[in-house]
Amino acid sequence: ASQTGHQLSSRAADGSKLRLFGSTREDEVRVVFYRDHAAWCPYCQKVQSALEEKQVSYRIVKVNMNCYGQKDASFLAKNPMGLLPVAEVDGRLITDSNQILGVLEATFREHSLIPSGREDEVKALLSLERRLFGSWFNWLRNSFGDAANREAFERDLALVEARLGRVSQDGPYFLGKDFSIVECHFASFLERMAASLAYFKGFQMRCNPDLPHLE
């Protein structure tokens, strides 16, 4: 309802939403982004975060996740598997979140989210994100061996905290002063880790004195 929100978003003739960043006409939008209605999907969030940070104008179409109802037939005609997110970039359909991010980087080179010369660092940090994801999911899903699963997750979480601590003098991000694709990956899952572990395991990630840099 704010003035800024009104200026930056508008509704297209087909009912989809437009995010234009003030510099693109509706007929010049090159990206159609399909994401979940409920805004729970972390894979959708990391793609939308990248679109926002890169300031790539896009059309957004919201689609039900399976647990919230049937998907529209027109969407299933494009993507029979029905998985989200999906993006169309210059008419090319892409159905994997990491592939979408790669195509966005290659197609829209302004506001790059992979700083030049730091590609190896980015690759290593994305591997750490997947490691943390694995230990989180393993603990969340399995009550058998709960203490060992918690220990594994806390060990990986400590690695993330240590990384942020090493670069904290340069800035708040994983690469110091530079916001990068790493934040898009980590932030979307850290939010869900914090919520799910507090609810299901009684584990507090937020306001945790052992995680000052992560906080």
Residues 88 and 150 in one domain: no
| Phi, psi (deg, nearest 5) at residue 200 | -90, -25
pTM of the model: 0.88
Identify whether 47 is part of a domain.
Answer: yes
Residue-level pLDDT at 165: 96
Residue-level pLDDT at 15: 61
Among 112, 14, 109, 110, residue whose Cα is nearest residue 59: 14
Query: Into how many domains does the chain fold?
Result: 2
Helices 181-201 and 119-141, axial angle in degrees (round to 10): 20
Alpha-carbon distance 96 to 89, whole Å?
13
Give 72's DSSP letter: P
Residue-level pLDDT at 9: 54
Residues 188 and 132 in one domain: yes
Residue-level pLDDT at 6: 44
Residue-level pLDDT at 26: 85
Residue range(s) defining the domain that contains residue 131: 118-201
Among 139, 137, 145, 130, residue whose Cα is nearest residue 201: 139
- Predicted confidence (pLDDT) per residue in 158-181, tens digit: 999 999 999 999 999 999 999 999
Neighbour-count burial of 180, counting CB atoms closer than 10 A to its CB (0-12 exposed, 13-18 middle, 19+ buried): buried
Identify whether 211 is part of a domain.
Answer: no
Pick left, alpha or beta for residue 55 (phi over 0 → left; psi -120 to 50 → alpha; otherwise beta).
left
Alpha-carbon distance 109 to 104, whole Å?
8
CA-based end-to-end distance of the chain: 30
Identify whether 99 is part of a domain.
Answer: yes
Residues 73 and 126 in one domain: no
- Predicted confidence (pLDDT) per residue in 134-152, tens digit: 999 999 998 888 999 999 9
Identify whether 9 is part of a domain.
Answer: no
Residue-level pLDDT at 11: 63
Strands 31-36 and 9-11: unpaired
Per-residue pLDDT of the chain (215 residues), as tens digits, is 444 444 445 666 566 789 988 777 888 899 999 999 888 899 999 999 999 999 999 999 999 887 778 888 888 999 899 999 999 999 999 999 999 999 999 999 989 999 999 999 999 999 999 999 999 999 999 888 899 999 999 999 999 999 999 999 999 999 999 999 999 999 999 999 999 999 999 999 999 999 999 99
Identify whether 212 is part of a domain.
Answer: no
